[in-house]
Structure 1
C-alpha cells in the first residue's frame, strides 16, 4: 500500500532537519581541531622565519626590470606593503592550525581589492575585484586577512587603534549575520542573494560614481592615438609601452585559445570585434613584474572600442600549503574561482596561454571604480567594513557550506573577539615587517625604482 502523502512529507521534513543538524554538528566538531578561544591566536615566528626572504622568493620568475617598481609601491605604507606581500601572510597562516572547513578563498582579501565594474547586464556591480590568489582553503583565512587590512587601511586613513578595532568588530558581525541569513535561505534564494546596503557606504558611492564616468571611449583617448597605421597605443612612462611585431603576434594568436574558454553566447558577441593593437601594461602592487598586455579592439566603428587585459597568472601564494585541484592552467584556476565566488562576473572573462605562460583575459577598466582611502575617514571605514563582511560571507556561502561554518562560529561572540584580536596583532606584525623591508632597502637587499 502506498505511503500517504502527508506521511511522505513528514519523513522528508524529518530528513531535512536531520541533514541540517548533522551539518551544524560538523562545524561544532571542528572546535576540537581549533578551539574558538585559540581561533585568533598569532604564534610567535621561528628564529629562521625571514619575511623579506619569503617576499624575494615569491617574485622569482617575474620581469626583473619591473621589480623595483613593485618595491617602490610597497614602500608607500604598511598597508601598501601588506597588499604586495600575500606570500608572507600565507606562510604565517600555514604555521597555525585551521578549521578545515573549505570554501573558495578570494586569497587576497583586503579593502582595496573591493571595487565596482560593469556586470553582464550592464548594471554596475560592487564586489571583489581580483582573484589571482584564489584557491580552495579554510574560510577563516579570508576573514583574517580582510580583518587585518581594515586595521592597516584604517590607520592610513587617520583612525586610531580603537576606531580600527570597532570597524573590525562591525566587519566580523556582518560576516556572521550574513552567513546566518544565507544558511537559512532556500538554496536557490541563497544562490541569487544580493547585498542591498552597498550605496549607503561613502567609499562605495564614490567608487560607483567613478565607474559610471569611466567608459571605453575615455580609455581610448587616454591610451591611444591616431597614426599612419591606424589607431595605436601611446607610450606612457611607467604605465604602458609598445611591443614589437613578434610579441604583438604572440598575444593576438593567443586569442584563438581564449575564444575556446568563452561560453557560446559570449563568444557570439566577441567574434564581431577585430584587434587593432597590443601594448604592455604595468599593473597594481601585487602583480607588478608579471607580464600584462592590453589589446585594443574595435566593434561597430571607431565609437565602439574594446580593451582586453591579458594578465599573466602564476600559482597561488597558498599553493605550497594547501591541496590544489587540477587545472589546465592558472588562468583557468582564477576564472573558476571567481565564478564560484561571484554571482555576476565579467562578460568576457576567460583564459589563454602565451609562450608557456598562463594568462587571465578580462575587460580592462570597463566602468571600473576603486576604493579611495580618503573616503574611509570618519564613518567611512566602518561602513565599508560591514559591506566587506557581507561580500565575503556571500562568496563563502556560494562555494562552501554556510550552515557548517555557522556551526563552528556558534553565537559569534567568541569568534568576533578572536578576529579583532588577530587583526590588531597581525597589523602590528605587518608594521614590523614593513620596518624590516625599509631596512632591507637601505642595505640594498631590496632594490627600489630610481
Structure 2
C-alpha cells in the first residue's frame, strides 16, 4: 500500500466505506461488490470454456446503496489515471464515459425479463488467444478466509434478513459465495464455503484462464474504453436486484449524474492522496 497512491487506494475499501457511511446516499440498496475499483475486474473461463470479462473480487460483497460501487469505480479511474500520468481531459472523459455506460447499462437491463437479465454476460472470445497458455495449466482450488464485509462493518448498512440468516447459519464464506453467484454472470464451478470454530472460509478455483488488465499500461483510448466496460459490468451486476428499476429511474440518462460524480471523484481522489501521504509519514 505504501508504493503509490493507486496501490493505497486499492487497499482502502474499508476507509472509503466509512467515508461513504458519513455522507448522504440514495437509499436504494442493491447487491454490491463493495470494492469495485478498476483492478478488480478481469478475465476468467466459464464452465463452457468461454473467456468472460466480469468482476473478480467479492470479499466485500453485500447490500449497499447502488452509487457506492460506482463511486468506488470512478474514484479509481481518477487515482489510477493520475498515477499513470494521464491528462485531466483524458481522466474526465473516462469518468463521464463510465457513468454514461452505467446509466445505459442499467436502463437496458431493466427492459429485459429477470431471466434474460440474469443470463446477460460479456463474452470476450476475441481475447482467448491472449490466455491460451493459461488454459493449459492445471486447475487448483484456493481457500481464502472471509471476514465481515466493509459495507457492514464500516459502511453500517443493515443487510436483508435472508442474507443475514445465511451468514448466521453458515458464516461469512457463505455470504461471499451467495453474493458472487448473484453478481457474476457465470460463476466458478468450484465455488464453495466452509467454517470452523475460529474462522470462515470460501473456496474457489485458483487458476483457470484467469487474467487481468494493468490500467497503468493502457493507452488513453483503451483506458477510457476499459472504464466504460467496468461500469457496464457493474450495471449488469446491479440489475440482478429487484430495485434496479428504481436505480434506472433515479439516474435517468446519467448526464447530471456524470458531472456530479466527476466532481465527487476529483474531490475524493484528493482525500485519498492526503490519506496516503499521512500513511507514508507514519511509517
When normalised by structure 1's length, the TM-score is 0.58
Deviations 1:12-51 (A, max 9, x none): xxxxxxxxxxxxxxxxxxxxxxxxxxxxxxxxxxxxxxxx
Where in structure 2 are the equivalents of 1:289-304 lying within 5 Å? none
Give the secondary-structure state (helix, strand or coil) at the position aligned to 2:64: strand
Give the structure 2 partner of residue 135 of structure 1. Answer: 62
Deviation at residue 410 of structure 1 after TM alignment:
2.2
Deviations 1:181-217 (A, max 9, x none): 1111233222222346x578xxxx4xx5553321463
1:337 equivalenced with 2:140 (yes/no): no
1:381 equivalenced with 2:216 (yes/no): no
Give the secondary-structure state (helix, strand or coil) at the position aligned to 1:379: helix
Distance of 1:149 and 1:215 partners within structure 2: 30
Distance of 1:371 and 1:315 partners within structure 2: 28
Q: 2:146 aligns with which of 310, 313, 332?
A: 313
Deviation at residue 140 of structure 1 after TM alignment:
0.3
Change (3 A) 1:148 1:209: farther
Distance of 2:108 and 2:272 partners within structure 1: 33
Where in structure 2 are the equivalents of 1:15-414 lying within 5 Å? 74-195=1-122, 205=127, 209-215=129-135, 217=137, 305-320=138-153, 321-324=156-159, 325-326=163-164, 327=167, 328-414=170-256
Change (3 A) 1:411 1:306: closer
1:425 equivalenced with 2:263 (yes/no): no
When normalised by structure 2's length, the TM-score is 0.91
Distance of 1:426 and 1:437 partners within structure 2: 16
Give the secondary-structure state (helix, strand or coil) at the position aligned to 1:116: strand
Deviations 1:264-283 (A, max 9, x none): xxxxxxxxxxxxxxxxxxxx
Deviations 1:105-148 (A, max 9, x none): 10000111011111121211111111000001100000000010
Distance of 2:27 and 2:135 partners within structure 1: 43
User: Do 2:35 and 2:69's aligned partners in 1 also have CA atoms closer than 8 Å?
Assistant: yes
Q: Kindly report the root-mean-square deviation, in angstroms, between the aligned alpha carbons of the 2 structures.
A: 1.7
Deviation at residue 371 of structure 1 after TM alignment:
1.2
| Alignment length (residue pairs) | 274
Distance of 1:368 and 1:209 partners within structure 2: 13
Distance of 2:97 and 2:59 partners within structure 1: 27
For structure 2, the 5+ residue unaligned runs are none
For structure 1, the 5+ residue unaligned runs are 1-73, 218-304, 442-450
Distance of 1:171 and 1:415 partners within structure 2: 11
Change (3 A) 1:400 1:422: farther
